[in-house]
Chain A
Amino acid sequence: MTALTQSKPITLKDRLSALFRRPAKDYAHPYTGGLLLGLVLFAAFFFTGNGLGASGGLNRYLVLVEDAIAPEHVDRTPYLLKLAGGDKNPLDDWVVMVVVGAMIGGFVAGWLNGRLKIETNKGPNITARQRWFFAFLGGAIMGYGARMARGCTSGLALSGGAVLSVGAWAFMFAVFGGAYMLAYFVRKLWL
């Protein structure tokens, strides 16, 4: 970055674009990642009694918006009622802060390791637009399934798995099972 400062004054745009031009480092070894993630998960349980989560946080932000647009509808829908009925604040939950933290943490990690890059990761045989479409479709399916299972990969499989919940283990094998069953048929998306 020092090279930039020599010739002309640095603008905000330069600073921002520099964020995306750091040399990319390799990802951590999977076992190192697992160990570190395990330590984070342990710390979460040890200090707060709660594990980690993601989809629940997104859910609560969404319900906040729904409650602002159509409060009567929220008060009539049993599922939404529990989260934001009456004067309940849907953001009044630990997972909301975890989601904010995760986004900041992910950004900082990407920045320090030179992996901030506007791009689309996809298999070689589909276009970026196709990949976006399937990402949206997959996301919608996943969001629906996550709420049905009362948790996502982090909130149920990871957290519940570590504290030995039977439902969490059944869920985890179901996720892998569902993905492996379909993987062959959608290989064009990835291979």
Chain B
Amino acid sequence: MNFPLPSLLTTSADNPWSYLAFLAIGFAFGYVLEISGFGNSQKLAAQFYFTELTVLKVMFGAIVTAMALIFTMVGLGILDYGQIYVNTTYLWPMIVGGLIMGVGFIIGGFCPGTSLVGMVTGKLDALFFVLGVLFGIFLFGETEIYFDHWWQNSGYLGRFTLMDWLNLPTGVVVTLVVAMALFMFWGAEQLERLFGKRDLAKEPKLRLAGGAALLAVAVGVILIGSPTTEQKYARLAPAKDAALANRETQIVPAELFHTMYDNTLQLVMLDVRSEADYNLFHLRGARRISPAEVKTLVPELIAHAAPNRVIVVMSNDETAATEAWKTLVAEAVPNVYILEGGVNNWLAFFGKDELAITPTPSAPPETLRFAFAAALGDRYEASAPSPIEYEALEYEPKIKLQLQRDKSGGGCG
């Protein structure tokens, strides 16, 4: 079984269980917030006067616990990190929004999640806070138009993780974060001792064991390492090999041609042939990448994934393109297709009337079966056939946009 469960990636009326699953998660979330004391604004505000650092302990405790477990599962190949929603980074709106929220936190005494819990347990200040949040959200919706460009673009880094930023392996980052959290816990306890007059001797000794266990799991993540592309594909192989065999992912030249002129789609064409073949002839707009380098494109393709982006890989026939397809699919890049029959098939259809392109039938597989008058690259007519000339083409469309994990309003929905 692959996790996360594909049926739960989004809620939909077709799958009523998804509603129940998110309801159950929400229930556990609210329950834990309440028993941690997060329904009480004074307990939350105490964080900022150093008397009781519950907020920091619970938040960082939760983050490092979840992180250690998530990346252990990712390392073991049970959980697919590519399918997990990593909040898209819009650096400046996030920093400015964070500062504003901090101000709201110390004035209002809650954050949106905790105020809901406070409200349902009868705290009147929480009720007023919730009303305030709704008013603030309303104001944002009405005023966003005045700084839309800044909000949409400033510091946009896409799906950008600490691993990408620090250029360190996942396990090392996880260990560093755990170490930082443990240091902060220690610091928090010292502050509570000094400002809150708390007797540390009365604290449970078990917490030391817990800290050691966390550190051990983090080091374990380093030792497991990350699954290779081959391992990732092996997990998906049953479904994906069937899709390949059923020709679900190979699109005919006519469909690619229509996609080129479809303004609702963002087409990325990857040409994995040799540089010589590429220089002889390629489709206009196709980007050449050697098969060995396909993997290096993954971070860029993941970071800037758009729900309407379609990637089509092509080689002279299909073999090399299929290998590239497998790499991209294993790395969870969405909407990847193969050009059926490759560039040879494209030329057989769109190049048949062009005098400078002549067929040379007897050639081994994955080589160009056409001869060209000159290495014109994309300046042949067949590189970008006229949409007027080929207006009505019949084919069975195969491109189906996968549902993206993109959320219009960010992580909080």
| Chain A interface (Cβ < 8 Å from any Cβ of B) | 20, 27-31, 33-60, 62-63, 66, 77-80, 82-83, 92-110, 113, 115-123, 128, 131-183, 186-187, 189-191
User: From residue B334, how far is it (CB to closest CB) to chain A in Å?
Assistant: 13
Encoded as 1 (CB less than 8 Å from any A CB) or 0, chain B from 364 to 396 comes to 000000000000000000000000000000000
Q: From B122, which residue of chain A is reached at the shortest CB distance?
A: A118
User: From residue B332, how far is it (CB to closest CB) to chain A in Å?
Assistant: 11
Other-chain residue from B95, B101, B151 in contact with A152 (beta carbon distance below 8 A): B101
User: From residue A136, how far is it (CB to closest CB) to chain B in Å?
Assistant: 4
User: From residue B184, how far is it (CB to closest CB) to chain A in Å?
Assistant: 10
Q: How far is the CA of A58 from the CA of B412 in the complex (A)?
A: 9
Q: How far is the CA of A51 from the CA of B70 in the complex (A)?
A: 11
Question: A143 to B4, Cβ gap below 8 A?
Answer: no
User: Which B residues touch A171, using CB under 8 A?
Assistant: 94-95, 97-98
Question: B86 to A165, Cβ gap below 8 A?
Answer: yes
User: Which A residues touch B89, using CB under 8 A?
Assistant: 165-168, 170
Q: How far is the CA of A157 from the CA of B112 in the complex (A)?
A: 12
User: From residue B305, how far is it (CB to closest CB) to chain A in Å?
Assistant: 14
User: Which B residues touch A51, using CB under 8 A?
Assistant: 85, 411
Q: How far is the CA of A60 from the CA of B41 in the complex (A)?
A: 25
User: From residue B341, how far is it (CB to closest CB) to chain A in Å?
Assistant: 35
Q: How far is the CA of A173 from the CA of B104 in the complex (A)?
A: 15
Encoded as 1 (CB less than 8 Å from any A CB) or 0, chain B from 19 to 52 comes to 1011111111111111111011111011111000
List 10 additional A-B contacts (Cβ < 8 Å) besides A135-B41, A136-B135, A158-B62.
Answer: A38-B64, A41-B62, A59-B141, A104-B120, A116-B122, A145-B98, A163-B70, A166-B162, A175-B102, A176-B56
Instruction: Given A56-B410, A56-B412, A164-B173, check contact A40 B28 (CB 8 Å).
Output: yes
Other-chain residue from B87, B121, B173 in contact with A160 (beta carbon distance below 8 A): B87
Other-chain residue from A38, A109, A133 in contact with B30 (beta carbon distance below 8 A): A109
Question: B4 to A47, Cβ gap below 8 A?
Answer: yes
Q: How far is the CA of A176 from the CA of B228 in the complex (A)?
A: 38
Q: Does B197 contact A (CB under 8 A)?
A: no
Interface centre among B47, B57, B120, B210 (most CB of A within 10 A): B120
Q: How far is the CA of A92 from the CA of B139 in the complex (A)?
A: 22
> Do most interface residues of chain A lie in helix, strand or loop, or is the interface mixed?
helix
Stretch at the interface among B125-133, B257-265, B271-279: B125-133
Per CB-CB distance, the 7 closest pairs between chain A and chain B, nearest first, are A138-B108, A34-B61, A101-B26, A178-B102, A139-B132, A150-B410, A38-B65
Question: A54 to B112, Cβ gap below 8 A?
Answer: yes
User: Which B residues touch A42, using CB under 8 A?
Assistant: 65-66, 69-70
Instruction: Given A78-B148, A142-B133, check contact A177 B99 (CB 8 Å).
Output: yes
User: Which A residues touch B64, using CB under 8 A?
Assistant: 38
User: Which B residues touch A62, using CB under 8 A?
Assistant: 134, 137-138, 141
Q: How far is the CA of A120 from the CA of B142 in the complex (A)?
A: 31
How many residues belonging to B are interface residues under a CB distance threshold of 8 Å?
141
Other-chain residue from B61, B81, B116 in contact with A38 (beta carbon distance below 8 A): B61
Other-chain residue from A41, A107, A191 in contact with B121 (beta carbon distance below 8 A): A107
Question: B131 to A136, Cβ gap below 8 A?
Answer: yes
User: From residue A28, how far is it (CB to closest CB) to chain B in Å?
Assistant: 5
User: Which B residues touch A116, using CB under 8 A?
Assistant: 121-122
Q: How far is the CA of A83 from the CA of B410 in the complex (A)?
A: 11
User: Which B residues touch A162, using CB under 8 A?
Assistant: 62-63, 66-67, 70
Interface centre among B21, B35, B117, B131 (most CB of A within 10 A): B35
Q: From B54, which residue of chain A is reached at the shortest CB distance?
A: A30
Question: B4 to A154, Cβ gap below 8 A?
Answer: no
User: From residue B68, how far is it (CB to closest CB) to chain A in Å?
Assistant: 8
Other-chain residue from B54, B61, B137 in contact with A143 (beta carbon distance below 8 A): B137
User: From residue A106, how far is it (CB to closest CB) to chain B in Å?
Assistant: 3
User: From residue A107, how far is it (CB to closest CB) to chain B in Å?
Assistant: 4
User: Which A residues touch B11, using CB under 8 A?
Assistant: 92-94, 96-97
User: From residue B377, how far is it (CB to closest CB) to chain A in Å?
Assistant: 38
User: From residue B20, how far is it (CB to closest CB) to chain A in Å?
Assistant: 8
Q: How far is the CA of A163 from the CA of B174 in the complex (A)?
A: 10
Question: B104 to A105, Cβ gap below 8 A?
Answer: no
User: Which A residues touch B148, using CB under 8 A?
Assistant: 78-79
Other-chain residue from A37, A132, A142, A167 in contact with B61 (beta carbon distance below 8 A): A37
